[in-house]
Amino acid sequence: MADWSELEEALADYKQRCNSNQRLRRMQRDWSRVLHFVCSDNGIIFTMTVDKGEITDITQGHNGIADIIVETDSETFCDMFWGDLNPVQKYLRGEIIVKGSQEDIMRLDAISSIIWPD
């Protein structure tokens, strides 16, 4: 089980990679969303705010009304934000649960595929 400090470190790296990737910023320039994350094993919850493709804020707890809710265990979140796993495989096996429009799910995965291309 990963604790909040591990998640915070992974999220900081993820945020830096996303915001500094020009191709991703261009692609997501019309995408502004509030994402809620839920760790199913240890109950840690956090919020990511995206404004026109830029991750502006990551905080512990749930703030605002979620456009997308992502739930999985903390270890999977850590690996995902470090780019050490392919989230689509986990999602298609039902190990990552996402509530949101199919367009937003697609956009969320697009981030991983751009900043960590295969």
Residue 118 CB, nearest distance to other proteins (Å)? Answer: 6
Residue 102 CB, nearest distance to other proteins (Å)? Answer: 5
Locate tokens 């992974």: which residue?
10
Residues in contact with other proteins by CB under 8 A are 6, 9-10, 13, 23, 26-28, 31, 78-79, 82-84, 86, 88-89, 91-94, 97-103, 105-107, 109-110, 113-114, 118
Cα torsion 89, 98, 48, 6: sign: negative
Residue 116 CB, nearest distance to other proteins (Å)? Answer: 8
Question: Please, which residue, 41 or 97, has the CB nearer to other proteins?
Answer: 97
